[in-house]
């Protein structure tokens, strides 16, 4: 991944002004640059309107990478020194949360007056190349591993036979090209017209309409450049694939191609709510129970791809308000039912539990010890189906021109039918028969009949 620094931020001069020794400067200057590079990149892939511009970093990893140094006779962690210095210098703000005894999570923000300055690429003159590479693992709570790390480790939760699969996916991914000329034309047009995107909720839970402004133009440009210059590829401990493409703005994916063929998105309708069904079926069977009617109804609705619309009618019947914007409504649904902490009994949740009581109890039980456990299980099952199942099946059929986009497969039109068949076959193994939609990256639904 390309990493960046803020032009005009004279880190070396600021460190010297603090009275640190030459030894400290020699050992820590690169880490200070990497600290800021980490915040910059996290800010690029997250909206500044979300959480007031704060971004999340899991401090345990970066503490380990930066290590310790002696200052005034005392051993101190470089991460905390850098964090406090940048705050003192008026560059950043931060909020700290503790998660358990040995795990911390901090939300950070680059102050607007610094974030709006020009950026330039971080180079080996600023920090050690290996140090620059290592900070890419600190952007999320999950553990991300490059394939060479997986080969060397005996402690990862990966079956050894899966490594060739991930290696082949990485090889195929590196063949994908981005038409930078068309991408830049689109970005320039968006900037000129101040293009408006689908409404979202901000940190105040207010609905707003994001606008393509100078900051977003810079972020998109950097993400596009990052994809072209360095096709980063990694795997999280759930088996999901993450790379420069997953961070590439959706509007730019229409300019991706492989062997001059554009991509189409083969998408599973209602995929995330539907993936609960195999988990719930297994739980009920382990307890020797029959499948209740509310679970069968839930399964039918998700398989037909009409679950969200059905739930809207239920909200109407119970006089519960919801957003008219589809994206906001779906995000509200997931936040209030699937991925919340169970501390608030939202009206959405009350309606859901009234219609699907067995499903509601199952969700609550899974989140009893850790409210994130449901998302972990869903992501792991998604990876087993889409990566270990569908992707492996396509490779076995000597189809290489595709990439996995979490719960979707993207491929040229000539492979769409084969991809659909592979998806249906893998979902059948977990007793599901989903509706599959084919779209281009302009949002147009393609009729395959």
pLDDT by residue (tens digit) across 172-192? 999 999 999 999 999 999 999
Return d(Cα 140, Cα 136) in angstroms, integer.
Answer: 9
Contact 333, 348 (CB under 8 A): yes
Q: In 230-245, which positions are buried (b, 16+ CB within 10 angstroms) versus exposed (e)? A: ebbbbbbebbbbbbbb
Dihedral of the CA atoms 121, 150, 257, 267 (nearest 10)?
-120
Q: In this structure, what DSSP letter does residue 174 have?
A: T
The answer to whether the CB of 238 falls within 8 A of the CB of 380 is yes
What is the predicted pLDDT for the residue at 142? 40
Strand order in the sheet with 92-99: 55-58, 103-110, 92-99
Q: What is the pTM of this model?
A: 0.82
Which pLDDT score, from 0 to 100, does residue 52 have?
73
User: What pLDDT, on the 0 to 100 scale, is given for residue 178?
Assistant: 95
β-strand partners of 207: 201
What is the rounded distance in angstroms from the CA atom of residue 192 to the CA atom of residue 364? Answer: 48
pLDDT at position 204: 64
Q: Residue 437: what are its φ and ψ, rounded to 5°?
A: -115, 145
From the CB of residue 7, how many other CB atoms can be counted at a distance below 10 Å? Answer: 10
Q: 252-265 burial, b for 16+ CB within 10 Å, e for fewer? A: bbbbbbbeeebbbb
Residue given tokens 């991925």 in the structure block: 339
Report the chain (449 residues): mean pLDDT per 10 consecutive residues: 86 94 93 90 71 75 89 92 95 75 71 88 77 64 46 47 86 93 96 92 75 87 85 80 85 95 95 96 94 96 96 95 89 89 89 96 91 90 95 96 94 96 97 95 82
Q: 3-class SS at 20?
A: coil
3-state helix, strand, coil in the chain (%, to 5): 50, 15, 30
Contacts of 432 (CB under 8 A, 6+ apart): 274, 277, 278, 299, 303
Would you state the pLDDT for residue 257? Answer: 96
Question: What was the pLDDT predicted at 136?
Answer: 63
Q: What is the pLDDT of residue 97?
A: 64
What is the pLDDT, as a whole number, of residue 243? 80
The predicted pLDDT at position 419 comes to 97
Contact 386, 158 (CB under 8 A): no
pLDDT at 151: 47
């Amino acid at each position: 991944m390309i990493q960046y620094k803020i032009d005009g931020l004279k880190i070396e001069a600021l460190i010297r002004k603090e009275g640190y020794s030459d030894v400290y400067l020699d050992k820590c200057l690169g880490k200070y640059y990497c600290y800021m590079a980490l915040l910059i990149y996290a800010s690029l892939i997250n909206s500044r309107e979300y959480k007031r511009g704060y971004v999340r970093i899991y401090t345990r990893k970066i503490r380990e990478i930066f290590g310790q140094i002696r200052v005034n006779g005392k051993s101190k962690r470089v991460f905390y020194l850098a964090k406090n210095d940048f705050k003192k210098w008026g560059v950043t703000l931060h909020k700290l949360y503790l998660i358990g005894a040995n795990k911390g999570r901090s939300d950070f923000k680059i102050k607007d007056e610094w974030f709006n300055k020009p950026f330039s690429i971080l180079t080996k003159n600023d920090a050690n190349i290996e140090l620059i590479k290592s900070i890419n693992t600190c952007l999320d709570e999950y553990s991300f591993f490059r394939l060479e790390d997986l080969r060397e480790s005996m402690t990862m939760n990966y079956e050894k036979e899966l490594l060739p699969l991930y290696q082949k996916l990485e090889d195929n991914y590196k063949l994908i090209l981005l038409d930078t000329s068309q991408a830049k034309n689109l970005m320039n047009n968006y900037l000129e017209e101040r293009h408006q995107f689908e409404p979202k909720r901000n940190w105040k839970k207010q609905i707003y309409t994001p606008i393509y402004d100078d900051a977003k133009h810079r972020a998109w440009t950097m993400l596009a450049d990052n994809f072209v210059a360095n096709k980063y590829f990694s795997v999280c401990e759930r088996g999901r694939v993450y790379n420069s493409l997953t961070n590439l703005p959706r509007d730019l994916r229409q300019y991706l191609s492989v062997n001059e063929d554009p991509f189409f998105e083969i998408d599973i309708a209602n995929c995330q709510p539907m993936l609960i069904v195999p988990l719930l079926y297994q739980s009920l069977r382990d307890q020797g129970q029959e499948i209740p009617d509310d679970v069968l109804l839930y399964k039918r609705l998700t398989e037909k791809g009409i679950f969200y619309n059905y739930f809207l009618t239920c909200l109407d019947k119970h006089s519960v308000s919801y957003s008219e914007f589809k994206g906001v409504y779906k995000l509200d649904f997931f936040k209030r039912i699937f991925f919340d902490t169970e501390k608030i009994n939202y009206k959405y949740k009350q309606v859901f539990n009234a219609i699907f009581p067995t499903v509601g109890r199952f969700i609550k039980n899974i989140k009893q010890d850790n409210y994130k456990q449901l998302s972990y299980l869903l992501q792991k099952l998604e990876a087993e189906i889409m990566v270990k199942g569908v992707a492996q099946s396509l490779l076995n059929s000597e189809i290489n021109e595709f990439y996995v986009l979490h719960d979707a497969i993207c491929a040229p039109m000539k492979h769409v039918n084969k991809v659909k068949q592979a998806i249906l076959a893998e979902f059948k193994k977990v007793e599901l028969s989903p509706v599959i939609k084919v779209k281009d990256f302009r949002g147009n639904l393609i009729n395959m009949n």
